[in-house]
Amino acid sequence: MQKIDLFDNKFDIGYAQNIFEVSRRFPEKTVDIFDSISKNQFISKKELLTSVLTSGIIHKEMKVIVIGSWYGSILVPVLAPLVKEMFCFDIDKEANHIASIINEYDNVQFRSADLTKEKHPVFGEEVDLLIINTSSEHIEMKMHELIKFQSHWTKKRRDIYFAVQSNNMTDIEGHINCVHSLEEFKSHLPARNQIIIEKEIPEERGVRYFLFGQIELQVEKKKDGTTRYTFGEDSK
């Protein structure tokens, strides 16, 4: 059984026990851990996952990168069984540790890294990628700057998708890069992109903004007849 079945409203007992276990072991994090599986979290993550899953882009050979992955709640148990590997990056070491206890998957890595400062080789692998960032409001660097920083040239054409969320909840602690409309949020994306789905997700504290799409690759034909591809060079 899937650990979380969003469409059939089912939650695996073992997964729930892992959440109870970490809240017992890390009492100072209990509220935060339970926030990550709150009703609003299910609503916004379900929008993202429904869009991505119904679009048909997910396949067994692709890799998923999650930026600001927190406890990996909801996204990891749904996506990990469907893809080759997931890389979850968060600057909070303890959050990564807790995430790795909650989510027991051989193909998921929780890494303590700030991708706005450190380049990571997974961005350069010759596989299709889905880049998820639902923590955009916490990260100062805009998505197009981060993508440009992490861009690589590859010999193989590949598909690079993004699924990103931000919100207009400026009065919440830690929210340093909020947006106030989908149009403003689109200006944070790499310039060459194709939006597949865009949505506003209202909740009692404000509005979450969601963009799902594909980054158009830049193609370079070299003098020796070879072709190479990148996804970040032509950003704004």
* List 52, 68, 103, 188, residue binding ligand SAM (CB under 6 A): 68
- Shortest distance (Å) from residue 134 CB to ligand SAM: 4
Secondary structure, 3-state, the chain: CCCEECCCCEECHHHHHHHHHHHHHCHHHHHHHHHCCCHHHHHHHHHHHHHHHHHCCCCCCCEEEEECCCCCCCHHHHHHHHCCEEEEEECCHHHHHHHHHHCCCCCEEEEECCCCCCCCHHHHCCCCEEEEECCHHHCCCCHHHHHHHHCCCECCCCCEEEEEEEECCCCCCCCCCCCCCHHHHHCCCCCCEEEEEEEEEEECCEEEEEEEEEECCEEEECCCCCEEEECCCCCC
Nearer CB in complex with ligand SAM: 150/217? 150
Q: Is 145 in the site for ligand SAM (CB under 6 A)?
A: no
Q: Is 188 in the site for ligand SAM (CB under 6 A)?
A: no
* List 21, 114, 118, 126, residue binding ligand SAM (CB under 6 A): 114
CA nearest to 162, candidates 189, 135, 199, 125: 189
Q: Is 150 in the site for ligand SAM (CB under 6 A)?
A: no
Which residue's CB comes closest to ligand SAM? 68
- Shortest distance (Å) from residue 36 CB to ligand SAM: 7
Nearer CB in complex with ligand SAM: 134/214? 134
Nearer CB in complex with ligand SAM: 13/31? 31
* List 15, 89, 110, 212, residue binding ligand SAM (CB under 6 A): 89
Nearer CB in complex with ligand SAM: 138/144? 138
- Residues in region 208-227 near ligand SAM by CB under 6 A: none
In the complex, the residues that contact ligand SAM under the rule CB under 6 A are 41, 67-68, 70, 89-92, 95, 114-116, 134-135, 138-139
